[in-house]
Amino acid sequence: MGRWVLKTLPLFEPIREELQVVEETLHLAAHGEHERLGEILNYLLDSGGKRIRPALVILASKFHDHDAARVLPLAAAVEMLHTATLVHDDLVDGSLLRRGSPTLNVDLGAGAIILVGDYLFAWAADLAAATESVPVVDIFAKTLMTICRGEITHAFDRDGWRRTKEDYYHSTYSKTASLFAASAQSGALLSGAPDATVQALREYGCKLGMAFQIVDDILDFVGDEDVVGKPIGGDLRQGTVTLPLLLFLEEHPQTDLLRAIFEQQDDREEKTRALAHMVRSSPAIAAAREEAQRFTIESKQAIEDLSRNPYRQVMLDLADFLLERRR
What is the C-alpha separation between 216 and 175, in angstroms, rounded? 12
Ranges of residues in the chain whose predicted pLDDT is under 50: 1-2
Residues 6+ apart with CB under 8 A from 69: none
Tell me the pLDDT tens digit for each residue of 212-259: 999 999 999 997 766 655 667 788 887 789 999 999 999 987 667 787
Tell me the whole-structure pTM to 2 decimals.
Answer: 0.93
CA torsion sign for 219, 248, 241, 184 is positive
What is the C-alpha separation between 177 and 120, in angstroms, rounded? 20
Q: Give me the pLDDT at residue 255, please.
A: 66
Q: Give me the pLDDT at residue 162, please.
A: 78
What is the C-alpha separation between 178 and 176, in angstroms, rounded? 6
Tell me the pLDDT tens digit for each residue of 109-134: 889 889 989 999 999 999 999 999 99
**Coil vs helix vs strand at 113:** helix
Residues 6+ apart with CB under 8 A from 164: 246
Q: Give me the pLDDT at residue 1, please.
A: 42
Distance of CA 19 to the CA centre of its chain: 18
Q: Which CATH class is domain 15-324?
A: mainly alpha
Q: Give me the pLDDT at residue 189, please.
A: 96
Q: Give me the pLDDT at residue 5, please.
A: 67
What is the C-alpha separation between 296 and 209, in angstroms, rounded? 9
Closest CA to 77 of 179, 173, 158: 179
DSSP H helices, 47-131, are: 52-60, 68-93, 110-129
282, 251 contact by CB (below 8 A): yes
What angle is formed at CA 46 by the lines to CA 45 and CA 50, rounded to 5 degrees? 80
One DSSP character per residue, 1-53 reads ---SPP---GGGGGGHHHHHHHHHHHHHTTTTS-HHHHHHHHHHHHT----HH
Residues 6+ apart with CB under 8 A from 79: 22, 26, 48, 51, 53, 54
Taking the domains of the chain in order of start, what are their residue ranges?
15-324
Angle between helices 68-93 and 35-46 (to 10 degrees): 100
What is the C-alpha separation between 113 and 23, in angstroms, rounded? 22
Q: Give me the pLDDT at residue 58, please.
A: 98
**Coil vs helix vs strand at 238:** coil
Q: Give me the pLDDT at residue 227, please.
A: 60
DSSP state of 101: E
Residues 6+ apart with CB under 8 A from 102: 96
What is the C-alpha separation between 318 and 313, in angstroms, rounded? 8
